[in-house]
């Protein structure tokens, strides 16, 4: 930050550097002391507009009063239980989720996205009796064993062997087609033809995000999911959809797959389901659940089906439905996308604006002798300085896509402020 570091800040950062193990690059030079709605505030009262909903999760904004009340009330009554006990909030949430996706009425509640994908992959292996897993080359599914082995965006180096039998195919990228002139359908068909040659006849599942968020906000084109499901069906594979970021209204519909009308065999939800609190879910159909029962599916964790996060999930779904937040995300997303497109027209360093609902990406291009990565880093730093939190994901060696995903209840004024701050940040970073 440009501002002089206060003595207290220097002491804070020295303690942080001394005692925190780094896990993913640098820390943001802003220390929130409290959060409310779409804003974070530091101890000096400086505010930061949170355009990533924390880690793409806080869809109701921070410290939503009804979520605060639910946590207070539940933790004083029923906090954590022996993992084989079930309680009211757990069944309530499973039932509410099943109402949203009637063909996937069997629900397992866990804590994180990685864990939900881990369980989904384990379930797919057990039920199909096979063990090869396919994902997209730009995917992110989590940091635990099976989920990490299906994650190709980052994190595959320096940790020894991952799971055997993992394959990746490229996700389509209309802004940067790998083979210009070749459509997504041809690319998908070719990828599966290649998979057929590489695999050992043990393909268990394909795991996919409807919009690859960490991969650069790559929205699978309409028709893609149906074609992917057909490829899976033809090979006796299950389709797992990971809606960590796209689920619960983010895209302008309740789930990303709603646009395509393609229900997966297994659906995982996380981040947005707890609106920022640790809650995830695995959902599947009765037939898969029956085979899993018969084969004694095991996914026994300390916090499986815990009542406290489940109560939060029930409240989140209630608020999203009551306040029409999916439709609101569609409307607010259109306003935000229009603002971002104006920014693209004004600044040569912006190459593309894409996404759906309130999950948008703004891709930078090289400018003024600087690479896209350098431009995007300079813009992010300027935005932080100006009071806007948005983060950059790297797509390729030199590209940078800014991920923008405000809370679903963001106001028009907050959207306009975010667009204005981003415009100023780009001007500051590029000297335009």
Ligand X SMILES: Cc1ncc(COP(=O)(O)O)c(C=O)c1O
Which sign does the torsion angle of CA 217, 223, 228, 233 carry? positive
Quick one: tokens of 67? Answer: 């979520």
> What minimum distance in Å lies between the beta carbon of 115 and ligand X?
6
Q: In sequence order, what DSSP letters do the residues of 369-419 get, joined into one string?
A: TB-HHHHHHHHHHHHHHHTEE-EEE--SSS-EEEEE---TT--HHHHHHHH
- Between CA 245 and CA 318 the distance in angstroms is 18
Pairing of strands 132-136, 166-169: parallel
Q: Which residue has the tokens 């439709």?
A: 327
> What minimum distance in Å lies between the beta carbon of 64 and ligand X?
20
Q: Between 248 and 429, name the residue whose CB sits nearer to ligand X.
A: 248
Is residue 245 annotated as a catalytic residue, yes or no? yes
> What minimum distance in Å lies between the beta carbon of 65 and ligand X?
25
- By CB under 6 A, the count of residues binding ligand X is 14
Choices 160-168, 199-207, 238-246, 287-295 (CB under 6 A): range interacting with ligand X? 238-246
Q: Between 213 and 332, name the residue whose CB sits nearer to ligand X.
A: 213
- Residue of this chain nearest to ligand X (CB atom): 113
Q: Which residue has the tokens 């799971």?
A: 163
Tell whether residue 391 is a contact of ligand X (CB under 6 A): no
> What minimum distance in Å lies between the beta carbon of 413 and ligand X?
28
Question: Which one is catalytic: 50, 187, 209, 219?
Answer: 209
- Between CA 217 and CA 239 the distance in angstroms is 20
Q: In sequence order, what DSSP letters do the residues of 13-73 get, joined into one string?
A: HHHHHHHPPP-SSPPPS--EEEEEBTEEEETT--EEEETTHHHHT-TT-BT-HHHHHHHHH
Q: Which of 276, 285, 234 is nearest to 107 (CA)?
A: 285
> What minimum distance in Å lies between the beta carbon of 174 and ligand X?
20
Q: Which of 50, 391, 420, 365 is nearest to 428 (CA)?
A: 420
Q: Between 59 and 349, name the residue whose CB sits nearer to ligand X.
A: 59
Pairing of strands 400-404, 359-364: antiparallel
Q: Between 117 and 401, name the residue whose CB sits nearer to ligand X.
A: 117
Which of 140, 184, 257, 364 lies at the binding interface for ligand X (CB under 6 A)?
140
Q: Which residue has the tokens 């996700």?
A: 171
Q: Between 120 and 314, name the residue whose CB sits nearer to ligand X.
A: 120
Binding mask 110-129 for ligand X (x = CB under 6 A): --xxx--x------------
Tell whether residue 142 is a contact of ligand X (CB under 6 A): yes
Is residue 271 annotated as a catalytic residue, yes or no? yes
Tell whether residue 244 is a contact of ligand X (CB under 6 A): yes
Q: Between 228 and 426, name the residue whose CB sits nearer to ligand X.
A: 228
Pairing of strands 280-284, 106-110: antiparallel
Residue 390 Cα to chain centre, angstroms: 14
Is residue 242 annotated as a catalytic residue, yes or no? yes
> What minimum distance in Å lies between the beta carbon of 44 and ligand X?
30
Q: Between 170 and 247, name the residue whose CB sits nearer to ligand X.
A: 247
Choices 23-31, 101-109, 207-215, 225-233 (CB under 6 A): range interacting with ligand X? 207-215
Is residue 140 annotated as a catalytic residue, yes or no? yes
Is residue 243 annotated as a catalytic residue, yes or no? no
Q: Which residue has the tokens 């646009």?
A: 259
> What minimum distance in Å lies between the beta carbon of 263 and ligand X?
18
Helices (H) and strands (E) in the chain, counts: 13, 17
Tell whether residue 153 is a contact of ligand X (CB under 6 A): no
Tell whether residue 274 is a contact of ligand X (CB under 6 A): no
Which of 166, 191, 245, 253 lies at the binding interface for ligand X (CB under 6 A)?
245
Query: Would you please indicate which residues are annotated as catalytic (active-site) residues?
Result: 140, 209, 242, 245, 271, 403
Binding residues vs ligand X (CB under 6 A): 112-114, 117, 140-142, 209, 213-214, 242, 244-245, 270
């Amino acid at each position: 930050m440009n501002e002089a570091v206060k003595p207290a800040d220097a002491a804070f950062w020295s303690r942080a550097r001394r005692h925190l193990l780094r896990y993913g690059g640098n820390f943001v030079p802003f220390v929130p002391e409290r959060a409310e709605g779409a804003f974070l505030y530091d101890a000096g009262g400086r505010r930061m507009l949170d355009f990533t909903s924390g880690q793409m999760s806080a869809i109701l904004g921070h410290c939503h009063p009804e979520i605060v009340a639910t946590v207070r009330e539940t933790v004083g009554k029923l906090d954590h239980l022996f993992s084989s006990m079930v309680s009211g909030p757990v069944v309530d949430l499973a039932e509410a989720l099943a109402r949203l996706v009637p063909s996937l009425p069997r629900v397992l509640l866990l804590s994180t996205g990685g864990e939900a994908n881990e369980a989904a992959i384990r379930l797919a292996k057990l039920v199909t009796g096979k063990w090869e897993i396919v994902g997209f080359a730009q995917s992110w599914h989590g940091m635990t064993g099976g989920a990490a082995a299906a994650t190709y965006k980052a994190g595959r180096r320096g940790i020894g062997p991952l799971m055997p039998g993992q394959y990746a195919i490229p996700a389509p990228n209309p802004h940067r087609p790998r083979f210009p002139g070749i459509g997504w359908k041809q690319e998908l068909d070719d990828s599966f033809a290649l998979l057929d040659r590489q695999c050992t006849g043990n393909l268990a599942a394909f795991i996919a995000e409807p919009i690859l968020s960490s991969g650069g906000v790559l929205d699978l084109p309409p028709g893609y999911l149906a074609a992917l499901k057909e490829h899976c069906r033809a090979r006796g594979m299950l389709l797992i959809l990971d809606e960590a970021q796209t689920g619960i209204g983010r895209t302008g519909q309740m789930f990303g797959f709603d646009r395509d009308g393609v229900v997966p065999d297994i659906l995982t939800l996380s981040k947005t389901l707890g609106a920022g609190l640790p809650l995830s879910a695995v959902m599947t159909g009765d037939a898969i659940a029956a085979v899993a029962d018969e084969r004694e599916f095991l996914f026994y964790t300390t916090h499986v089906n815990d009542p406290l996060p489940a109560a939060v999930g029930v409240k989140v779904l209630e608020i999203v439905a009551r306040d029409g937040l999916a439709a609101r995300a569609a409307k607010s997303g259109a306003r935000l996308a229009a603002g971002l497109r104006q920014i693209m027209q004004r600044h040569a360093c912006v190459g593309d604006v894409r996404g759906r609902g309130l999950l948008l990406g703004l891709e930078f291009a090289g400018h003024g002798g600087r690479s896209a990565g350098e431009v995007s880093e300079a813009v992010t730093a300027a935005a932080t300085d100006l009071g806007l939190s948005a983060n950059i994901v790297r797509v390729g060696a030199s590209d940078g896509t800014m991920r923008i995903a405000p809370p679903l209840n963001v106001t028009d004024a907050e959207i306009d402020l975010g667009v204005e701050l981003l415009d100023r940040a780009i001007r500051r970073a590029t000297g335009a």
